[in-house]
Structure formats: structure tokens, C-alpha cells
């Protein structure tokens, strides 16, 4: 649909595209290299990959550069590229113990098994803008590491850092499905209320981070959810990617990806038999995104406990997708003069005097 009211029509649209390209590729600064984006803006790259559902640091950096830093637009670009790629294989399930953590905290335990690994975090740093002089900052900067575009290494689990144990036996509600169905693929079938838990977790893993955390905070602060939510464990690290060997049938580790994983518990306020047990929620997403993993685990708990209505589940499945949200916003900027004119005519007809009223 073109803007028929704009002089020049398609020529004006092409000129607008050239202006956008000039602003993106021009400027007074030096050319922005991909390794600068992946190396200096790693959290933004991880967020775009997670919301696009594709682990590709270099392509995510290209999307960020093309979108001029608009992460919502970058995720939409990367997911659109993902839709053009062939599906070569299905990865094999890996247990949580296969994750090699670089950061692991356990707020629910004073002395968790294996200790805690703070890793790189700003959790204990005051939120104060760093106004260090640029020359001083360059002089004191550590030497550069290997390029981030080299890809994630093939990793093996670290047996010296075991995962934090669950609450004592008898205090945890069992949410396992005895049938153990295959994960629901939301890229092949629409996710509607009533889908398995795997569909909700997948939808939240690809959800827009801000929308997800906002929904979690909004629901968890409701009076009906007054019971405290406590994270059992929060981990960041490398998870091996395994596929089945085409000839031997054995699982083979071909790569590794960075993930954030969270498990939270909340006392179950429902009647017996679950009233005296913990509910557990789980969240796992691509990249270093602890806030998203925690919000995922919290919403996983809240949706499970929302037995009287499916409104929360529907919001989780349909209202958190970043590219879908961006697409709806973009369509509002397209011509709507036909709709607007029809509404104006209808309102004028309603306001017009009825000649039969005077009879």
C-alpha cells in the first residue's frame, strides 16, 4: 500500500529509504565493525538472539547495526532471516547438570553445595553513571579478548559445581508429565490456551524482555499472589548442543551456546494435598539475560497456579512476542484513510437529524 497523497508516490518512498540508509551507513564517526558490537554490546546481542530464537552473534550484530540500535527491530530482522533457513536437524535433550556455569547464585541457601560463583555482575555496584575521561578509560581498559564472533566453544559439564538441590523430599509438588511428550513446536503450530507447558516456556524464551518482565511484575504484585517467590538457583553458562549422529545414532556435541537458567519456588496456598508443598517454576533463555530467566520462572509458576481462568496463559502466549508487537505498531503508520472516512461518515449520519422525529 502506497501513500497516494504524497507527491511522487513510489519515488518519494524510495527517497525516504535512501535517507534512512544514508543515516545508517553515514555519519561523522568511523565505520561500526561487527566485532565492536558483539564485543562491547554483548547483552544487546544476546537479547536480540533470544527474542529472535536464533543463536547467531554475527547476524545479530548486523541486525543491530541495520536497525540503528533499535533492539525490537533488530529481533524482527533476525527472526525474518531465521524463517529463510533450512532445518537441518533436531537437537537432543540435555540435562541441567550438563550446563557449565560461569555464574551461579542460590538465594534460598546460605551454603549451597559447591559454593556460589558471583562471576561478572553489576548486582552489587551502585547505579552511578561512569564519567571517567575517555583517554583515562582507554588507558586503563584491559587488553581485548578473542573475537566474540568466533562462536561458542564446545563445552563439557563441570562436575565440581553441582546444581543446587531441590527442597527436602515431600515439600515439592510434582509437576512432571508421566507421558513425557515431545516439546510443542510453536514455529509449526499456533500456541493457544491449553497447550503443554513446553509451549509456554518456548513462547516466553522468545518473548520481548521488557514485556515479559513487566507482565511478571504486574501479576506477582497482585494481592492474590501474596506468597513470597524465592529463587532456588540462578545460573549462567555454556550448554552443549548435541545432535544424533546420522550413522551411529549416538549423541554428538557439535557446539555450545550461552544460556541463563533460573528455578524459583513459591509456597502453594491451595488446599490439601498441595497446600503444604512448594510449587517450582523454571526459566531458560539464550544468552546472558538473568532478568528474563527469573521472570520466565515466575510466570511459569503463576500460570500453573491460575486454575480459574486462562487469561494469564493467553497473555503469555499472545501478548509478549516482540516482532508481532512491532509489526502491529508499524501497520498503524500505513494509510488508514478508508477506515477513517467510513467512521466519519457513520458519525455524521448518527448526528444528522431524523426527519421522522418531527412527525
Residue 301: pLDDT over 80: yes
DSSP states of 176-230 as a string?
Answer: --TT-PPPP-TTTS---TT--HHHHHHHHHTB-HHHHHHHHHHHHTSGGG-S--E
pLDDT (average), residues 46-50: 96
DSSP states of 25-47 as a string?
Answer: H-SSSPP--HHHHHHH-HHHHHH
Dihedral in degrees, nearest 10, Cα atoms 130, 131, 136, 137: 30
Helices (H), the chain: 10-25, 34-40, 42-52, 57-66, 71-82, 134-140, 197-205, 209-220, 290-305, 311-318, 322-332, 337-351
Q: Rounded to whole angstroms, how far apart are CA atoms 280 and 267?
A: 9
Q: Please, which pLDDT band fits residue 275 given cuts at 50, 70 and 90? A: low
Q: Rounded to whole angstroms, how far apart are CA atoms 64 and 45?
A: 8
Give how far Cα 102 sits from Cα of 8, 49, 120, 343, Å. Answer: 57, 20, 8, 58
Paired with 101 in beta bridges are 237
Residue 12: pLDDT over 80: yes
* Of residues 343, 335, 339, 265, the one with CA closest to residue 305: 265
pLDDT (average), residues 260-281: 74
Q: Rounded to whole angstroms, how far apart are CA atoms 17 and 11?
A: 10
* Lowest-pLDDT range of 164-168, 196-200, 333-337: 164-168
pLDDT (average), residues 208-228: 86
What average pLDDT does the structure give for the chain? 84
Helices (H), 53-165: 57-66, 71-82, 134-140
Within a 10 A sphere around the Cβ of 248, how many other Cβ atoms?
Answer: 8
pLDDT (average), residues 46-63: 95
Q: Please, which pLDDT band fits residue 137 given cuts at 50, 70 and 90? A: confident
Start-to-end CA distance of the chain, whole Å, equals 48
This prediction has a pTM of 0.85
Amino acid at each position: 500500500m502506497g501513500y497516494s497523497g504524497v507527491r511522487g508516490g513510489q519515488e518519494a518512498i524510495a527517497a525516504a529509504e535512501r535517507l534512512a540508509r544514508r543515516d545508517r551507513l553515514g555519519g561523522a564517526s568511523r565505520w561500526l565493525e561487527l566485532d565492536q558490537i558483539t564485543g562491547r554490546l554483548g547483552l544487546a546481542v544476546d537479547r536480540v538472539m533470544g527474542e529472535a530464537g536464533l543463536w547467531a552473534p554475527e547476524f545479530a550484530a548486523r541486525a543491530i547495526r541495520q536497525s540503528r540500535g533499535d533492539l525490537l527491530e533488530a529481533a524482527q530482522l533476525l527472526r525474518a532471516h531465521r524463517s529463510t533457513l533450512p532445518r537441518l536437524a533436531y537437537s537432543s535433550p540435555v540435562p541441567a547438570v550438563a550446563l557449565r556455569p560461569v555464574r551461579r547464585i542460590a538465594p534460598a541457601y546460605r551454603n549451597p553445595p559447591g559454593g556460589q560463583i558471583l562471576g561478572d555482575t553489576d548486582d552489587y555496584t551502585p547505579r552511578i553513571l561512569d564519567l571517567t575521561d575517555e583517554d583515562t578509560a582507554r588507558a586503563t581498559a584491559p587488553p581485548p579478548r578473542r573475537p566474540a564472533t568466533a562462536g561458542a566453544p564446545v563445552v563439557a559439564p563441570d562436575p565440581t559445581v553441582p546444581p543446587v538441590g531441590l527442597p527436602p523430599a515431600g515439600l515439592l509438588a510434582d509437576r512432571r508429565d508421566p507421558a513425557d511428550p515431545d516439546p510443542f513446536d510453536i514455529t509449526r503450530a499456533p500456541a493457544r490456551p491449553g497447550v503443554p507447558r513446553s509451549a509456554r516456556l518456548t513462547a516466553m524464551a522468545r518473548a520481548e524482555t521488557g514485556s515479559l518482565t513487566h507482565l511478571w511484575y504486574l501479576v506477582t504484585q497482585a494481592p492474590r499472589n501474596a506468597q513470597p517467590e524465592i529463587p532456588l538457583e540462578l545460573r549462567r553458562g555454556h550448554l552443549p548442543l548435541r545432535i544424533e549422529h546420522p550413522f551411529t545414532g549416538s549423541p554428538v556435541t557439535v557446539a555450545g551456546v550461552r544460556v541463563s537458567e533460573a528455578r524459583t519456588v513459591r509456597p502453594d496456598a491451595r488446599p490439601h494435598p498441595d497446600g503444604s508443598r512448594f510449587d517450582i517454576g523454571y526459566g531458560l533463555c539464550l544468552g546472558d539475560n538473568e532478568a528474563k530467566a527469573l521472570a520466565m520462572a515466575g510466570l511459569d509458576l503463576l500460570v500453573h497456579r491460575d486454575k480459574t481462568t486462562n487469561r494469564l496463559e493467553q497473555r503469555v502466549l499472545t501478548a509478549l512476542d516482540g516482532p508481532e508487537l512491532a509489526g502491529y505498531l508499524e501497520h498503524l503508520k500505513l494509510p488508514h484513510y478508508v477506515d477513517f472516512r467510513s467512521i466519519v461518515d457513520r458519525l455524521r449520519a448518527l448526528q444528522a437529524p431524523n426527519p421522522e422525529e418531527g412527525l
